[in-house]
Structure 1
Amino acid sequence: MTLEGAQTAPGVVEDVFEGHATGVEVEDTGDDQVLIKRPWRPEQIRVSTSAFSLRNILDLIEEESLELAPDFQRGQVWGASQKSLLVESLLLQIPLPAFYFAEHGDGSFSVVDGLQRLSTLYAFVRGEGEEDGFALTKLEHLEELKGLRFNDLPVPFRRRINNTQLTVNVIDPSTPRDVTYEIFKRINTGGTPLNAQEIRHCMSRPRSREILKRMTHTEAFDTATGRRLRNHIRMNDREMALRFAGFWLQGLDAYYEKPAMEPFLWKTTEMLDSPERVPDTRVAELEAAFESAMHNAHLLFGEHAFRKWPHDYEYRSPINRALFETWSIALAGYDSADLFPRRGAIVESARRRMTNDVMYLNAITSSTADRRRVDYRFTAAAKDVEAGR
């Protein structure tokens, strides 16, 4: 849906989250139709159930053996009332829903489901200061504890919290990554289900997260995207950087072998997490290429970079992910001194295509993960960037 009164190009639908425009166009990749044809074997699912005391889980977090996916903003949006009611549930010995952890080969864990609950409990019990070690506010049955922090509670209540037994379903590290991802998609709870990039963020390792964060925390990226994407509420900034990394590192032929966006981006995430597969020197080249692409995109298209911009339409449309991936790759290898004298011809070629080429408009709007549509839009961008020679 679009916000009432929002100005968008014909056929453009801007994504909205919790009543606010996200600055990014809604995308239909068509991946669901591709992936549903390739179900896994049931024996690949290996999940065991264990009981952990809350004290044990908080120790694992402090030892960095259990990761709470830092820099995941949307997982931290509970208000004071929700946090207090969760703590009250423990004090009343009301069992909490089961948690899901994914175990890694080195014995560490990532939170698959329950990130917000664990973050809240960790902040209450182990946090310090006003922001982290919060005081209880809304309580429905234990109003005499209102205003108290964990260390202010009577000893029996503190002991009750620490000794609370939590049921945890642990996904074995031998479970294939795509199967773990599908489990995550099916069981993640909360008011708004996590999208694909939010799931990848929670399941990935620190190395890939830091790389994507650096790529999207530059002045060049901010300028090219109209300062709408940094720390994006749905992590669209990280997904776009990941798409660039995927096509830049693996190339189009790798995508054509298995033309579905989600597994392609998962493979890219795993590559970025591995220093053996993508050494630091290669990461530095990746980041430099991405920054160059951002500079060039703004040089050519200004405030319309990565947005649909047909003729006779001057409003700024939301960012289009398919345009982002194709034009960022197309521009990464060019020197700005080569592009600037041809700017008018390049922009005219791109706008004419967005106005008259129905196949191109389809390729950047619907079933965008389809092999033929990916090929069409990448080929088109490569031709357009050569205009004016």
Structure 2
Amino acid sequence: MTTSQNPAAPEVKEEYFLDVPTGVEAETEDEDIPEIERPWNPEQIRVNTKQFSLRNVLDMIDDVSLELAPDFQRGRVWKHVQKSRLIESVLLQIPLPAFYFAEDADGFMRVVDGLQRLSTIHDFVRGGDEKGFALKGLEYLQGTVEGKRFDDLPAPWKRRINNAQIMTHVIDPTTPPDVMYDIFKRINTGGTPLNAQEIRHCMSRDRSRSILKAMTSTGAFNDATNGLGGHTRMNDREMALRFAAFWLHGAEGYAEFGSMDAFLQRTTTMLDDPNAVDDSVVGSLEKSFQRAMENSWIVFGDQAFRKWPQGVESGKYPINRALFEAWAITLCDFEPRDLARRATAIVAKARALMAIDYRYLDAITSSTGDTRRVMYRFEATAEAAEAGR
């Protein structure tokens, strides 16, 4: 393993959402990496355009034939005034931007673009979690409907909302999942675009969601990540998914995919399919993840999965995804007593890697999905975990 002297502390940028730090380090990728690594057959892309009334769409949500991605906190973070002005736009008969739905073979649909807008309209008209909300901060209808809830509106205004027509693009179920995911990445350009895991969550089924939620709802996970469970932008679920992907395929299997997006999307599809990953395998996966979290805490304490190079003796950097996947996979098979005995030596080796090995630091900082960098950080991490033997 080649090393170079680098006494300076690494530059670390934390992700922010709505001006609040997320506790997770931002990943940077080279701009010249193509978004699509292999061309899709255009004949595989099937998107149909349909028109629905809002009443029809709200009925579909209520009878669960259209899913608003349950357990998705990120979709309901609009401020009261933002919600009210969306309703005002509908009342003013201003056409809403098109929505995207993904349909499965049984005719069940899930919202993949427009989640915030439909959640807001459903909350206002049908009650939702907020039991309906009063309109506030309107620009044009202050003297007409300001302060009113849906039930307070005159009948003509209610009809105007219920009869409003929306344009939807429905992704056909015959479209391959990888193509469907890429379509959504391309059209995901709204006010606050979803991140990759939020997209996967919207497009996945309940099985994978439940697995990832169970993995990140344990005390061991929250101890090792300083309470990251229930993360606003689903970074906790992404980390569990990364663990599942490398646990199922191995670091060597990553080369087959060539990009982290493709790797994680394929793993999501597998977790959704009990024929691909049956319940007994899921049980083993969850136990391995639990062991990985417990062992990471034994070795690193509250510095687990964070950059912590030699020479940096105070404070904590945000959690680093690349360190998470490498150390979690590496430590999941060790005996806790063995790690406790060697923890000081392992920590010293790990910190040396982040202080003097430029190649390792690059592998956990930028273009972290590059196959060579993935392989190197797993190799170097595995070697560090043997320290003190």
TM-score interval (norm. to shorter): over 0.9
Q: Deviations over 1:10-48 (max 9, x none)?
A: 222222333222221221355972543422233322111
Report whether the alignment pairs 1:73 with 2:95.
Answer: no
Aligned residue for 2:124, secondary structure, equals helix
Alpha-carbon distance in structure 2 between the residues aligned to 1:198 and 1:284: 24
Partner residue in 2 for 1:307 = 306
- Count of aligned pairs: 380
Show structure 1 runs of 5+ residues with no match: 1-7
Partner residue in 1 for 2:185 = 185
Tell me if structure 2 keeps the 8 A contact 1:30–1:369: no
Alpha-carbon distance in structure 1 between the residues aligned to 2:31 and 2:238: 15
Aligned residue for 2:101, secondary structure, equals strand
Structure 1 consecutive aligned stretches of length 4 or more whose deviation exceeds 6 Å: none
The normalised TM-score by structure 2 is: 0.93
Alpha-carbon distance in structure 1 between the residues aligned to 2:138 and 2:93: 14
- What root-mean-square deviation, in Å, do the aligned CA atoms of Structure 1 and Structure 2 show? 1.9
Aligned residue for 1:169, secondary structure, equals strand
Partner residue in 2 for 1:330 = 330
Cα displacement (A) at 1:156: 2.1
Tell me if structure 2 keeps the 8 A contact 1:55–1:163: yes
Which has the larger displacement, 132-141 or 365-374?
132-141
Cα displacement (A) at 1:248: 0.6
The normalised TM-score by structure 1 is: 0.93
Which has the larger displacement, 318-327 or 16-25?
16-25
Alpha-carbon distance in structure 2 between the residues aligned to 1:214 and 1:66: 24
Partner residue in 2 for 1:261 = 260
Partner residue in 2 for 1:4 = none
Partner residue in 2 for 1:152 = 152
Q: Deviations over 1:181-218 (max 9, x none)?
A: 22212222432221111111111111111211111111
Partner residue in 2 for 1:49 = 49
Alpha-carbon distance in structure 2 between the residues aligned to 1:169 and 1:195: 21
Q: Deviations over 1:107-135 (max 9, x none)?
A: 11111211111001111111167x23112
Identity score, percent: 61
Partner residue in 1 for 2:271 = 272
Which has the larger displacement, 144-153 or 328-337?
144-153
Relative distance call for 1:164 and 1:375 in structure 2 (3 A) is same
Relative distance call for 1:258 and 1:189 in structure 2 (3 A) is closer
Relative distance call for 1:128 and 1:27 in structure 2 (3 A) is closer
Report whether the alignment pairs 1:201 with 2:201.
Answer: yes
Cα displacement (A) at 1:321: 0.8
Alpha-carbon distance in structure 2 between the residues aligned to 1:184 and 1:332: 34
Aligned residue for 1:302, secondary structure, equals helix
Cα displacement (A) at 1:72: 1.8
Alpha-carbon distance in structure 1 between the residues aligned to 2:263 and 2:76: 28
Tell me if structure 2 keeps the 8 A contact 1:103–1:173: yes
Aligned residue for 2:112, secondary structure, equals strand
Tell me if structure 2 keeps the 8 A contact 1:123–1:132: yes
Tell me if structure 2 keeps the 8 A contact 1:85–1:138: yes
Aligned residue for 2:51, secondary structure, equals strand
Aligned residue for 1:231, secondary structure, equals coil
Partner residue in 2 for 1:3 = none
Partner residue in 2 for 1:19 = 19
Report whether the alignment pairs 1:113 with 2:113.
Answer: yes
Cα displacement (A) at 1:54: 1.0
Report whether the alignment pairs 1:140 with 2:139.
Answer: yes
Residue identity in the other structure for 1:343: A
Partner residue in 2 for 1:243 = 242
Relative distance call for 1:31 and 1:290 in structure 2 (3 A) is farther
Aligned residue for 1:234, secondary structure, equals coil
Residue identity in the other structure for 2:133: F
Q: Deviations over 1:146-167 (max 9, x none)?
A: 2222222222222222121111
Cα displacement (A) at 1:288: 1.3
Tell me if structure 2 keeps the 8 A contact 1:30–1:370: no
Tell me if structure 2 keeps the 8 A contact 1:34–1:260: no
Aligned residue for 1:51, secondary structure, equals strand
Alpha-carbon distance in structure 2 between the residues aligned to 1:111 and 1:128: 17
Tell me if structure 2 keeps the 8 A contact 1:31–1:262: no
Tell me if structure 2 keeps the 8 A contact 1:309–1:317: yes
Alpha-carbon distance in structure 2 between the residues aligned to 1:78 and 1:263: 30
Partner residue in 1 for 2:387 = 387
Partner residue in 1 for 2:4 = none
Alpha-carbon distance in structure 1 between the residues aligned to 2:369 and 2:225: 22
Alpha-carbon distance in structure 1 between the residues aligned to 2:117 and 2:166: 11
Alpha-carbon distance in structure 1 between the residues aligned to 2:150 and 2:19: 35
Residue identity in the other structure for 1:278: V
Show structure 2 runs of 5+ residues with no match: 1-7
Tell me if structure 1 keeps the 8 A contact 2:9–2:311: no
